[in-house]
Amino acid sequence: MQLHSIAENILKTYCENFDGSPIIVRSPGRVNIIGEHTDYNEGFVLPAAIDKATYVAVGKSRNNNCTLISINYNEVFEVSLSAALAPVKDWPTYILGVVDQLIKRGYRLHGFNLVIQGDVPIGAGLSSSASVECATVFALNELFQLHIPALELIDIAQKAEHTFAGVMCGVMDQFISILGKKDHVIKLDCRSMEYEYEPLQLKGIKIVLLNTNVKHSLASTAYNKRRNECSEGVELVKKKMPRINSLRDITPQMLQQYVEPIDKNIYQRCRYVVEENIRLLEACDALKNGDLLSLGQKMYATHDGLSKEYEVSCKELDFLVDHVRSLPQVLGARMMGGGFGGCTINLVKEEFVEELIISTGNVYTQYIGKELTAYIASTEDGASLVHY
């Protein structure tokens, strides 16, 4: 079997630097069709794993020391497992966060060597960080034969993001990176963690990602702020209705009655989330019925909510969505992921894809002064061992 060029590359680097044959794991990035900023509010999401992924090669070292090599960053990081781990800057923190979680949960590890490389664009809203965490936890689970079930792998990766990267993310990105399935989206209920695979039948339509090339590294603070604003909304309703525990339990009427009179800003944030959950359920029906026009309209509505009510968009994302909105060949578009930069996701008629990429790239550079990068996303399976 032909090895993916990244797998081949990390294998070569591993063998040049360490003894023995490593385990190789790939864990993908994701798109999300609809359902944004709903996951940490116990709502629904509709992501799919894509053909861009992080790859790691890992093997045991002879002692408690770990050597981590990043090919993307051309850096080496050394750490010993004999002392407590702490967050560090940049890429090693995602790996250390996973190791820290494993140790705190009582899993017995010893030193290992790891080479990492990926092609998920960083800071583009495609879950590059989750793919690093998931590749790491999947690989260490195999290497040390820890027998951790999938849902716990997901939880470990998510908590690594909370504790070491400092982003209080929901569960969507890590979930899809581990459990994604080619040609399918997952409809995940982030409250019960029940999920269904739905076939992604797009009949002549491509998923095109347009990258603003605005990296959203600053997003973490505003991201966490939005999360807190949602909790404040829940608290306001809870004062009147003590059994309410999340925005999932809250209707637009409850918000109007108990939140709007007290805090307009919080009301606006919460209304977006409550409406997005309703929109997602309708979008799922549209997808099942092959009604992609209706699905596309819902994506535009999501963008408007994220931009005007939830306020996690930016001028570059708004420009890209506004630019395609009147084109009949583009069925739907919206900003995707945490926001403040990254990509828009567009449903585009196949025969128009090339023209769209060229013409949008030109106007984007003319008006925004930045380069536009485009990817045509295809779906892939979640985390897996790479056999060689």
The residues assigned a catalytic role are 173
Largest CA distance in the chain: 66
Q: Is 164 in the site for ligand GLA (CB under 6 A)?
A: no
Q: Is 170 in the site for ligand GLA (CB under 6 A)?
A: yes
Q: Is 172 in the site for ligand GLA (CB under 6 A)?
A: yes
Query: Do 247 and 273 touch, CB atoms closer than 8 A?
Result: yes
Q: Is 375 in the site for ligand GLA (CB under 6 A)?
A: no
Phi, psi of 309 (to 5 degrees): -100, -45
Number of residues that bind ligand GLA (CB under 6 A): 11
Q: Is 36 in the site for ligand GLA (CB under 6 A)?
A: yes
Helix (H, G, I), strand (E, B) or coil at 25: strand
Query: Do 205 and 348 touch, CB atoms closer than 8 A?
Result: yes
Where do the H-state alpha helices sit in 241-263?
Answer: 252-258
Q: Is 40 in the site for ligand GLA (CB under 6 A)?
A: yes
Q: Is 377 in the site for ligand GLA (CB under 6 A)?
A: no
How far apart, in Å, are the Cα atoms of 317 and each of 68, 92, 102, 313? 35, 29, 38, 6
Q: Is 311 in the site for ligand GLA (CB under 6 A)?
A: no
d(CA 215, CA 373): 12
Place of tokens 């990429």: 357
User: Which of positions 314-343 make contact with ligand GLA (CB under 6 A)?
Assistant: 337-338
Kindly indicate which of the ranges 34-42, 58-66, 112-120, 177-185 contains the residues binding ligand GLA, using the contact rule CB under 6 A.
34-42
Question: Shortest gap between Cβ of 170 and ligand GLA (angstroms)?
Answer: 3
Question: Shortest gap between Cβ of 30 and ligand GLA (angstroms)?
Answer: 8
Q: Tell me whether residue 173 or residue 229 sits nearer to ligand GLA (CB atom).
A: 173
Q: Which of 278, 38, 320 is nearest to 173 (CA)?
A: 38
How far apart, in Å, are the Cα atoms of 53 and each of 126, 154, 240, 294? 10, 16, 46, 30
d(CA 115, CA 120): 16
Q: Tell me whether residue 11 or residue 169 sits nearer to ligand GLA (CB atom).
A: 169
Kindly indicate which of the ranges 106-114, 133-141, 168-176, 246-254 contains the residues binding ligand GLA, using the contact rule CB under 6 A.
168-176
Q: Tell me whether residue 48 or residue 172 sits nearer to ligand GLA (CB atom).
A: 172
Query: Which residues fall within 8 angstroms of residue 15, CB to CB, at 6 or more apart?
Result: none
* Interface pick for ligand GLA out of 6, 14, 31, 39 (rule CB under 6 A): 39
How far apart, in Å, are the Cα atoms of 289 and each of 24, 198, 292, 341? 39, 12, 8, 32
User: Which of positions 43-102 make contact with ligand GLA (CB under 6 A)?
Assistant: none
Question: Shortest gap between Cβ of 63 and ligand GLA (angstroms)?
Answer: 35
Place of tokens 């060949």: 329
d(CA 334, CA 55): 29
Question: Shortest gap between Cβ of 39 and ligand GLA (angstroms)?
Answer: 5
Q: Tell me whether residue 129 or residue 213 sits nearer to ligand GLA (CB atom).
A: 129
Q: Tell me whether residue 79 or residue 312 sits nearer to ligand GLA (CB atom).
A: 312
Kindly indicate which of the ranges 35-43, 56-64, 74-82, 107-115 contains the residues binding ligand GLA, using the contact rule CB under 6 A.
35-43
Query: Do 366 and 358 touch, CB atoms closer than 8 A?
Result: no
Query: Do 88 and 80 touch, CB atoms closer than 8 A?
Result: no
d(CA 28, CA 108): 26
Q: Is 169 in the site for ligand GLA (CB under 6 A)?
A: yes
Question: Shortest gap between Cβ of 248 and ligand GLA (angstroms)?
Answer: 14
Q: Is 42 in the site for ligand GLA (CB under 6 A)?
A: no
Strand order in the sheet with 23-32: 75-80, 65-70, 112-118, 47-60, 23-32, 384-385
Question: Shortest gap between Cβ of 186 and ligand GLA (angstroms)?
Answer: 14
* Interface pick for ligand GLA out of 10, 14, 28, 37 (rule CB under 6 A): 37
Q: Is 386 in the site for ligand GLA (CB under 6 A)?
A: no
Question: Shortest gap between Cβ of 35 and ligand GLA (angstroms)?
Answer: 7
List interacting residues with ligand GLA (CB under 6 A).
36-37, 39-40, 127, 169-170, 172-173, 337-338
